[in-house]
Structure 1
Amino acid sequence: MKALKYKQIIDYIKEQITNGTWPVGSRLPSQRALASQFGVNRSTIVTALEELAADGLIEGRTGMGTIVVNNTWTLMRSEPPLNWNEQVGRGTHQASMPTVQAINQAESNEDLIQLSKGELSRDLFPLEEMRVVITKVGKNLEPFGYEEPKGNPQLREEIARYLSRKGINISSSSILVVSGALQALHLISIGLLDRGSTVFLENPSYVNSLSTFQSAGMKLQGIPIDQEGINPAKIEGIHQTKNSVLYCHPTFHNPTGALMGEKRRQELLNLAERAQIPIIEDDVYGDLWIDSPPPRPIKSLDKHGNVLYLGSLSKSLNPGLRIGWIVGPEAVIDRLADLKMQTDYGTSSISQRAAAEWLSSGLYEEHISAVRKELKVRRNAALQALDQHLSRYGEWQQPAGGFFVWVKMKQEISMADLYRKALARGVLINPGRIYSNQKSPHFRLSFANAQVEDIVKGIAVLESLIEDC
């Protein structure tokens, strides 16, 4: 039996190396991890590794563990093998923070209580309605190729009609369909901004957890926010150059949930026009109001094309559709459409046609109305559980919409420790540090994804962990 296991271990490691799962330069799992995986003593693992090392496939290195140095093909060659691991850090696009990468991985773990996810719960996905929409789109389907550079004409017409209800009156030629708002930010960063430009943004901000602007050579300048978001006066005090842009999230800000009032929106637009600072307005949560409709977007006040407006169906309907849009002056949209064609030759045609049907049929309005009611139930349950379990330790504001409660600790504790201990107990939260360029005593709690009972349970777990900290 031991001999059989020994051979299985060697064959398994060889297979991982040969098929490229563990390329040259990769570090093997620890001896302890391999022993646990195969249910053997570490001595069996050591013997297997020694044979693989004798074959020239692996090598033990001080401080690095056991490294793959060859594969079965490179052993036949005289030239040294390509080490892909050396290439990983050479791309121009920066990697996400390690914590963000870990959270992205953990969000696919269905065993965790997801107090992290900025995504509607699966039970809020309108499955039957989506089947009807897809069936109808399929019945009317004709042979199709790539869509127009700006996107499917019918979808852009429907988006224009939808936006007119928000006070944004534009033609479909001023709309670019994108694969979500994140792609919109990427296109803007590489197509409209000079390297070295300054991006003013809220501090904290969702964009701090990304590397979109930094990878394009931009500098991020955080602006402190209050309960209404960015204060225009704080921008005016530090604005030094015309080579800058303002990214803002005025409606149910991520991560704080702040809602900017109508007066503040006008003041912000006035400042931007006076100082010649273009605005990127992110409105992906705008339909997800709970208590009452929010003020109209800043874009609705824009008379001079100063605002690029981003919207999406990812938060309100389903992220899997990958449908978002950019609204702006035609010259800008033409430029970004050309870049998008260079990037992916257009968003999925089927998704665009399905999105057009959702907007034109009235199904989207019915769906979003039901979502608002459910979000209110979950938000109220989260706030009640926070009052019961964390009122001694933290403080927060009641969000009027969106997905998030921004919790600030009253006493100094390690948010990194709280995040790690919560994860070990099966609860995933987002530490505030990933949204700011400085230490933060906050964490972001999502009430959109977990069931009510899990929200309450997860918050109770956090109470016990905070006491330990």
Structure 2
Amino acid sequence: MLDIDWRPDRSSPTQLHLQIAGYIKNKISCGEWIVGTKLPSQRTLSDIFDVNRSTIVAAMEELAAEGVIEGNSGGGTVIINDTWTLFPMERAYNWNNYISSGAHQSNQNIIQLINQAEFDPGIIRLGSCEPSPKMIPYGMIQKILKGLPETANFLGYEEPRGSIYLRKEICKYLDTMGIAAEPSSILITSGALQALQLISLGLLHSSSVVYLEKPSYLYSLRTFQSFGMQLSGISIEEEGINIQELFARHRRKRGSMLFTIPTFHNPTGTVMSLERRKALLEKCEMERLPVIEDDVYREIWFDEQPPMPLKALDKNGLVLYVGGMSKNLSPGLRIGWIVGPEQVIGRLADIKMQSDYGSSSLSQYVAAEMFASGLYAEHNKLMRENVRIRRDTALTALNRYFKGIASWNIPAGGYFIWLRLNDGISMYQLFVKALKNKILIHPGDLYEYHSSQYIRISYSNASLDEIDFGIKVLSQLVIEQLK
């Protein structure tokens, strides 16, 4: 996806289509857009530049006439860069073969648009799964930083598994939820996403089948697919993943691992019951099916604590437990962890050292001090109170604006409401229209292919007023499409 943050100047005497053509030529002449680059569709360019489609057509005709671009049947419009007027001295180097041969797949187009839009200061983020800046405990973190010992080295490398100080504190923290772990069985990662990347690289092979709930946020990532792995979706029920369906599938496919989010599932908000957790783990042990448990939303509960993690029930080292601080403390610290058998953790630690030679030492110290000082527990209590208010604001807005056209869950924790429209619509069109109105959403087809009725509403980042206004405008856009 090309990074375009420019708009034509409507007050300029130069016609809009000529401004757009000039902008594209400038990008090419600077070497930023290379030979073989495929331009976005005319519809997408029309949205990006905020002009009529006829203006885009005129700009493309101008560039084609100058020999800058070429339209291929079924292949879109491509930069061919064979005009002497752009490059009088030499041709720009063609990097396209290298880009297309990289092992890691590109994000979906809509994910790239989301990633760009999240940094627009005027956007209402109803899709983000990170805490609002107002909920990040800057004061607590500054207090820790001001108390840094002068004699200690917090700017050097840590050992392969991560800071021993932090790993000891995580052991104490895990013990409060029933997980018995030693520092040697913990690896510090740069967030939970890196944990999944390390597992992909270190424990799975290119033909592996990974089971997961359907829908699941993992469908929106390229982590497993980039390494040639297959995702196999299993339906999710009110109490959690459908165990019967999972093992009926497993008898046919013989998958390598199960990835699950049993606590405040992303995107549905489902909490797997304790009985379902016990039954799932018992069956996985019988079938020798390893489990990746993603538990990053555990601390964001409202009325009662969720059931103990699968890892707390694991007596045979079958579960790799992934936790972190990005969702409830600070995404910028980039602190996560994997808990598992020592041999597995040693393997993953070796790969991490090959990848980045360790997570930030300073971030690890801050995280350890948050645990040791009791500030982490204090912050989580305040976080839960603030997030609950945001959830209630979102539910009130949904009752006011979506009643009769949709249904939704009432989250017991986490950041998400899984909104189901009564009738299907074009999710891409809704996404684009919402973005034009400065509202960022996550359409349901990011989490389940071909879904035309679901939207993931997040209440973690936007202000209370923004939540109400954003849901109001979103309902209007939905109603327009339903007509």
- Please state whether the residue corresponding to 1:445 is helix, strand or coil: strand
1:445–1:243 CA distance, 2 compared to 1 (3 A): closer
| 1:416 and 2:428 aligned | yes
- Secondary structure (helix, strand or coil) at the match of 1:288 reads coil
1:91 is aligned, of 99, 102, 105, to 102
Query: Structure 1 residue 209 and structure 2 residue 217: aligned?
Result: no
Specify the SS of the correspondent of 2:250. Answer: coil
Q: From 51, 64, 70, give the equivalent of 1:61.
A: 70
Q: Distance in 2 between matches of 1:32 and 1:400?
A: 41
1:270 equivalent to 2:282? Answer yes
Q: Equivalents in 1 of 2:322, 2:362: separation in Å?
A: 21
Aligned equivalents of 2:85, 2:324: Cα separation in 1: 48
Report the AA paired with residue 68 of structure 2.
E
Equivalent residue number for residue 462 of structure 1: 474
Inter-partner Cα distance in structure 2 for 1:34 and 1:143: 44
Is the partner of 1:95 in helix, strand or coil? coil
Is the Cα–Cα contact under 8 Å of residues 242 and 276 in structure 1 kept in the other structure? no
| CA drift at 1:203 | 0.1
Conserved? CA contact 1:22–1:68, under 8 Å = no
Which residue of structure 2 aligns with residue 126 of structure 1? 137
Q: What CA distance in whole angstroms lies between the structure 2 residues aligned with 1:434 and 1:189?
A: 21
Say which SS state the counterpart of residue 160 (structure 2) adopts: coil
- Describe how 1:80-229 pairs up with structure 2 within 5 A: 82-137=93-148, 139=150, 141-142=152-153, 144-229=155-240
- Note if 1:346 corresponds to 2:392: no
| Match status 1:331 vs 2:313 | no
| 1:258 maps to 2:270 | yes
Query: Residues 384-441 of structure 1: CA distance to partner in whole angstroms, max 9, x if unpaired?
Result: 1111111201111100000000001112322222222222222111111010134341
1:302-313 aligned within 5 A: 302-313=314-325
Check conservation: 2:34, 2:94, Cα contact below 8 A: yes
Contact persistence 2:417–2:458 (CA under 8 A): yes
Cα 1:239–1:113 shift into 2, 3 Å: same
| 200, 225, 243: which one aligns with 1:232 | 243
Counting aligned pairs with the same residue, the percent is 45
DSSP-derived class of the 1:467 partner: helix
1:195-248 residue CA offsets vs partner (Å, 9 max, x unmatched): 211111000001000011111121111000012220212212211254421000
Question: Can you give the 5+ residue segments of structure 1 that lack an aligned partner in the other structure?
Answer: none
Q: Could you say what secondary structure the match of 1:176 adopts?
A: strand
Distance in 2 (CA, whole Å) between partners of 1:302 and 1:457 is: 45
CA gap of 1:215–1:22, structure 2 versus 1, over 3 A, is closer
Name the SS for the 1:287 alignment partner.
coil
Deviation at 1:463, TM superposition (A): 1.8
Q: Tell me, in whole angstroms, the C-alpha distance in 2 between the residues paired with 1:50 and 1:243.
A: 50
1:105-141 deviation per Cα after TM superposition (whole angstroms, max 9, x unaligned): 1111121211110010111111111111222236454
Moved more, 107-116 or 297-306: 107-116
On the 8 A contact 1:100/1:209 being kept in 2, the answer is yes
Q: Distance in 1 between matches of 2:373 and 2:227?
A: 40
Alpha carbons 2:209, 2:254 under 8 Å: kept: no
Q: Secondary structure at the match of 1:308?
A: strand
Secondary structure of 2:285's aligned partner: helix
Q: Which stretch has the larger CA shift, 152-161 or 139-148? A: 139-148
Partner amino acid, structure 2, of 1:117: S
Contact 1:28 1:68 in 2 (8 A): no
Deviations 1:37-61 (A, max 9, x none): 9xxx99xx99x9799x6xxxx7343
Letter in 2 for 1:433: D
Q: Which residue of structure 1 lines up, in the alignment, with residue 385 of structure 2?
A: 373
TM-superposition CA deviations, 1:157-182 (whole Å, max 9, x none) = 11111111111011000000000111
TM-score w.r.t. length of structure 1: 0.88
Could you tell me which amino acid in structure 1 is paired with residue 294 of structure 2?
Answer: D
Which amino acid in the other structure matches residue 220 of structure 1?
A: L
Mapped partners of 1:441, 1:144: distance in 2: 49
For the aligned residue pairs, the C-alpha RMSD in angstroms reads 3.3
Give, in whole Å, the separation in 2 of the partners of 1:311 and 1:374.
21
For residues 121 and 371 of structure 1, what CA distance do their matches in structure 2 show?
10
Query: Are the equivalent residues in 2 in contact too, given 1:284–1:313 (CA < 8 A)?
Result: yes
Distance of aligned partners of 1:255 and 1:13 in 2 relative to their CA distance in 1, 3 Å threshold? closer
- Give the SS at the match of 2:224: helix
Q: Is the 8 A contact 1:314 1:320 kept in 2?
A: yes
Shift in Å at residue 366 of structure 1?
Answer: 0.9
Q: Is the 8 A contact 1:134 1:354 kept in 2?
A: yes
Q: CA deviation at 1:11?
A: 10
Code of the residue aligned with 1:346 in structure 2: it is G
Mean Cα deviation higher: 358-367 or 170-179: 358-367
Q: Amino acid of the residue matched to residue 31 of structure 2?
A: G
Give the AA of the match of 1:450: A
Corresponding residue for 1:297?
Answer: 309
Q: CA deviation at 1:194?
A: 2.2
* Helix, strand or coil at the partner of 1:461: helix
Is the 8 Å Cα contact of residues 390 and 464 (structure 2) preserved in structure 1? yes
Give the Å deviation of 1:278: 0.2
- Deviation at residue 87 of structure 1 after TM alignment: 2.6
Q: Unaligned regions of 5+ residues in structure 2, if any?
A: 1-11
